[in-house]
Amino acid sequence: MGPNCLVIAGEKSGEEHCLSFFDSLQASYPEMSFWGVGGDDLRDRGMELLYHLKDFSSMGFSEVIFKVPFYLKALKRIENEVKKRQCKVAILIDFQDFNLKLSKKLKSLGVKVLYYVAPQAWAWKEWRAKTIQETTDTLFTILPFEKKWFQDRGVKNVISLKHPLWLSYKDKISKEKSKVEVHSSANWKRNPKTILLLPGSRNSEVGPLLPVFVRAIECLSSKWEIDLRIVSSENVNDSYYKPFLHLFNHVYESKFLGDALSEADLAVAASGTVTLAAALFSVPTVVCYKLSLLNNFIFNNFLNYDGPISLANIVHGDLVFPELFNEGFSDFNIAQAVENWLEDYEKFSTLKDRLRGTEALLRGEMEDVAPYLEGLLRESYVNNG
């Protein structure tokens, strides 16, 4: 078998992280073949998919529990493929519940494990640092404090990166920063406001969130002139969007997220990586999160984490974006949070100014990880025949 690399990008955000280096890595190491779990974008670039991420991803504890039989079969299939292909290196991207189990199997098979985007063990599963220390050859972190946190818990080879989301959108972000602010206190209330809905990339997110998002904006539209837009996901069933399509002036595909954010005044978003994208584009955003009853019970009774939920707030170390979580998640509360900015231009403008500092918070010792990954991949096959 020729040189090949297993890639596990089990969620859309993981695929987006992978895309920040994949093209460069592929171009510099054309004889390397990639296979594993990903989405349409990776498949279009020639990666062989054993599983599509839309079938693979899950959200929350209860979904993971129901998919355990599927994941066990997938682990076994991937293990068999590793042996069959004589694979010597793997890039595991986030998706900690599955990838940390897989990393143990890969380590026992002598596969070099490169864990790209450290799992957020610091939030509620500190013990996972030990698993990473035992099974991972190189850990790549993307949040400023993570490198020291993992090193303090025994993980030796840790490299901090400039966040891949910034790398993916840096050209558009630079253009945004150079734009002259079109709003002023005088015209803020008079001009139409472009509000962007970002309801997630899973059926389990869009199903419960989108109807509430829409009701919230409908509450505002009687008083404000609103240009309502949405970013849809190819991983979500069209039936979730269909009842509301007539309300949107523009529907963006997920690959045009940067364009959508560059044209938005405000946003309402599901909690996730997209909240950091909104911060990088300086778009004030209301962040929403809704857990099932089982997930909520587990969260409140078995986890100790009490910090911010959204990535934008974690990076800023403060609630720059309002978070509406479980009982606080309602159309009334969303409308009220958005109206705080609509009513007060100074509050809106001050937050935008603060958000322009988001990029500076995303420190990292390495910006372009592709050459480093190429070296590790080549080394794996030279040293192991």
CATH of the domain at 63: 3.40.50.2000
If DSSP codes are grouped into helix, strand and coil, which group holds residue 106?
Answer: helix
User: If you average pLDDT over each of 66-75, 106-115, 128-137, 148-157, which comes out highest?
Assistant: 106-115
Q: Which residues pair with 36 in a beta bridge?
A: 7, 49
Please, which pLDDT band fits residue 159 given cuts at 50, 70 and 90? very high
Reported as a single tens digit per residue, the pLDDT across 238-282 is 999 999 999 999 999 998 999 999 999 999 999 888 999 999 999
* pLDDT(292) > 60: no
Please give the structure tokens belonging to residue 344. Answer: 């007060």
Q: What is the pLDDT of residue 57?
A: 65
| Residue 231 main-chain phi, psi, to 5 deg | -105, 120
Count of alpha carbons within 13 Å of 68, Cβ hemisphere only? 4
> DSSP code of 126?
T
Report the C-alpha gap between 37 and 49 in whole angstroms: 5
Same domain, 287 and 379: no
Lookup result for tokens 């998706």: 95
Lookup result for tokens 């002139």: 225
Residues ≥6 apart with Cβ < 8 Å to 318: 308
In this structure, is the dihedral angle defined by the CA atoms of residues 328, 209, 189 and 313, taken in order, positive or negative?
Answer: positive
* pLDDT(37) > 50: yes
Same domain, 326 and 376: no
- If you average pLDDT over residues 32-37, what whole number do you get? 98
Please, which pLDDT band fits residue 298 given cuts at 50, 70 and 90? very low
**Which amino acid belongs to residue 228?**
L
Same domain, 37 and 184: no
Question: Structurally, how many domains does the chain consist of?
Answer: 2
Of residues 271, 275, 228, the one with CA closest to residue 251? 228
Same domain, 236 and 302: yes
Q: Residue 200: give the domain boundaries.
A: 167-361
- If you average pLDDT over residues 305-320, what whole number do you get? 84
Q: What is the pLDDT of residue 199?
A: 96
Same domain, 115 and 76: yes
Please, which pLDDT band fits residue 299 given cuts at 50, 70 and 90? very low
- If you average pLDDT over residues 379-384, what whole number do you get? 77
Same domain, 106 and 213: no
Q: What is the pLDDT of residue 295?
A: 45
Same domain, 141 and 233: no
Same domain, 10 and 43: yes
Report the C-alpha gap between 100 and 95 in whole angstroms: 8
* % residues pLDDT > 90 (the chain): 63
Same domain, 226 and 127: no
Q: How many Å is the Cα radius of gyration of the chain? A: 21
Give the CA diameter of the chain. 69
Same domain, 238 and 139: no
Provide the mean pLDDT of the chain. Answer: 88
End-to-end alpha carbon distance in the chain: 11
Please, which pLDDT band fits residue 383 given cuts at 50, 70 and 90? low
Same domain, 253 and 158: no
Least confident residue range of 17-21, 121-125, 211-215, 230-234:
121-125
The gap from C-alpha 14 to its chain's centroid, in whole angstroms, comes to: 6
Please, which pLDDT band fits residue 179 given cuts at 50, 70 and 90? low
Q: Which residues pair with 323 in a beta bridge?
A: 287
Same domain, 131 and 236: no
